[in-house]
């Protein structure tokens, strides 16, 4: 049976989902991992069971590193060539900031490095390196960067993590707001014509929708996969299926979530649903519908998939044509069938959703003429989902001021000015 991990499904015993073509990864043993852990006194990764409450509900840990970027005392400061995003291809959470970074043209400003699971107790590491160390900081495990930041750290090192590679420490793992920091605080480093994913005038509406999206969709499938009671499972499935129905209605007459242009919210929705349809659903059990059965949602996903910045960081299980053993007996469905699907063909788009837009030839909003990087700055809002109070994080029914099926910014995001 596949091991359940926080950001994906581990490979089956034949390694069908794992990247078996890597010449170093197969040499990485649990004994080696334990030896590397002893060098830096690395802390074992807590098991997922520690985030299950007494009723069997999954209550995700709060992000441990939430110091914001800003101008306040103690705030992190945006800089060119100081930070690195650690992300994992199997973790849809961590694909968000690298997608946003590339859309915003920040590839030369903020580095990235893709981590992977390691054998043994330490979680994310660097199995693709010949010496199994991070080439930027020389640590063996992502969690070492957390301990460098806080010697008392005891939680899970998660992806995405933003680290200061010059100081060799993790500085922020707040996936709720990390893309917003790239959008806002790093505006001065973006090309002049970079798109506006998070317009100043409408941040309240985008933040509120994102905070609804988290428990219902982003964490909705984890609430099912990690549930340890019937009640917890049914609660997660109800939220997820009802959330999808609302989104299907919303996307019936909106090209993107807030109308004619891609916003921060579209990145968050896309990474969850593409991963669900191609991989994660296996752990959640029977559903009322597949994502592909929601016509508007599926066409929306197809359009985003065919945008290079989205496709580049979309991880879909691939087949290993040299290993046919998974076709024998009652093997895992992902390995036997899904990994052999031609997803480029399945996700080909006819471009028909462009007709929903008043500006069909453009998918990104431009910044208003004359807007400066200083004009674009604002304090990024906090979220209840990062509260230190577990009871607050366990309250899964986020009240939104307008039903999620309705776009409150319909017709308000406009590229009206001439170049």
Whether 115 and 142 map to the same domain: the answer is: yes
Whether 175 and 207 map to the same domain: the answer is: no
248, part of any domain: yes
Whether 177 and 51 map to the same domain: the answer is: yes
- Picking from 90, 406, 98, 107, the residue whose alpha carbon sits closest to that of residue 279 is 90
Whether 151 and 204 map to the same domain: the answer is: no
Structure-model confidence comparison of residues 186 and 26, the more confident one: 186
Whether 204 and 105 map to the same domain: the answer is: no
pLDDT of 68-123, one tens digit each?
Answer: 999 889 999 999 999 999 999 988 889 999 999 999 999 999 999 999 999 999 99
Whether 261 and 381 map to the same domain: the answer is: yes
pLDDT of 145-194, one tens digit each?
Answer: 999 999 998 888 999 999 999 999 999 999 999 999 999 999 999 999 99
245, part of any domain: yes
Q: CATH number of the domain that 153 lies in?
A: 3.40.30.10
Whether 231 and 347 map to the same domain: the answer is: yes
pLDDT of 271-306, one tens digit each?
Answer: 999 999 888 888 888 888 999 999 999 999 999 999
Whether 172 and 219 map to the same domain: the answer is: no
Confidence band for 22, pLDDT divided at 50, 70 and 90: low
409, part of any domain: no
Q: CATH number of the domain that 264 lies in?
A: 1.20.1050.10
13, part of any domain: no
Domain count, the chain: 2
Whether 159 and 44 map to the same domain: the answer is: yes
Q: Helix, strand, coil proportions of the chain in percent (round to 5)?
A: 40, 10, 55
Kindly report the pTM of this predicted structure.
Answer: 0.91
The pLDDT of residue 259 is above 60: yes
* CA 164 vs CA 83, 184, 188, 278: distances in Å: 5, 18, 19, 33
Q: Which two tokens stand for residue 297?
A: 């949602």
* CA 411 vs CA 57, 97, 180: distances in Å: 40, 27, 23
Which of 142, 168, 188 is at the close of a domain?
188
Mapped onto helix, strand or coil, the DSSP state of residue 140 is coil
Domain that holds residue 246: 190-394
Least confident interval from 84-88, 244-248, 389-393, 395-399: 395-399
Cβ atoms of 279 and 9 closer than 8 Å: yes
Q: Which two tokens stand for residue 4?
A: 């359940």
């Amino acid at each position: 049976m596949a091991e359940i991990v926080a950001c994906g499904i581990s490979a089956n015993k034949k390694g069908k989902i794992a990247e078996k073509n890597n010449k170093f990864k197969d040499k990485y043993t649990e004994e080696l991992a334990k030896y590397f852990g002893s060098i830096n006194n690395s802390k074992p990764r807590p098991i997922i069971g520690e985030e299950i409450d007494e009723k069997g509900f999954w209550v995700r840990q709060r992000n441990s590193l939430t110091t914001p970027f800003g101008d306040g005392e103690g705030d992190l400061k945006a800089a060119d060539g100081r930070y690195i995003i650690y992300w994992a291809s199997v973790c849809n959470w961590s694909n968000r900031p690298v997608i946003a970074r590339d859309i915003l043209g920040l590839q030369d400003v903020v580095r990235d490095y893709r981590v992977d699971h390691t054998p043994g107790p330490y979680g994310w590491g660097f199995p693709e390196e010949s010496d199994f160390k991070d080439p930027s900081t020389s640590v063996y495990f992502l969690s070492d960067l957390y301990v460098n930041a806080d010697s008392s750290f005891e939680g899970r090192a998660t992806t995405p993590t933003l680290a200061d590679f010059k100081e060799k420490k993790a500085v922020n793992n707040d996936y709720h707001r990390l893309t917003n920091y790239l959008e806002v605080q790093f505006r001065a480093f973006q090309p002049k014509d970079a798109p506006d994913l998070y317009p100043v005038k409408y941040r309240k509406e985008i933040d509120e929708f994102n905070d609804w999206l988290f428990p219902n969709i982003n964490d909705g499938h984890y609430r099912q996969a990690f549930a340890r009671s019937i009640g917890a499972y049914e609660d997660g499935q109800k939220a997820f299926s009802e959330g999808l129905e609302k989104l299907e209605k919303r996307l019936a007459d909106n090209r993107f979530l807030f109308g004619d242009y891609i916003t921060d919210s579209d990145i968050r929705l896309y990474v969850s649903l593409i991963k669900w349809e191609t991989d994660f659903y296996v752990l959640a059990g029977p559903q009322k519908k597949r994502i592909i059965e929601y016509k508007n949602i599926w066409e929306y996903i197809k359009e985003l998939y065919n945008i290079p910045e989205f496709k580049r960081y979309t991880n879909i299980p691939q087949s290993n044509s040299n290993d046919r053993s998974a076709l024998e007996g009652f093997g895992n469905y992902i390995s036997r069938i899904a990994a052999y699907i031609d997803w480029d063909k399945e996700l080909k788009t006819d471009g028909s959703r462009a007709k929903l837009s008043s500006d069909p030839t453009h998918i990104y909003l431009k910044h208003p003429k004359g807007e400066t990087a200083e004009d674009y700055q604002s304090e990024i809002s906090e979220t209840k989902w990062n509260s230190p109070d577990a009871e607050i994080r366990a309250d899964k029914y986020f009240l939104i001021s307008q039903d999620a099926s309705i776009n409150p910014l319909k017709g308000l995001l406009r590229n009206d000015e001439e170049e």
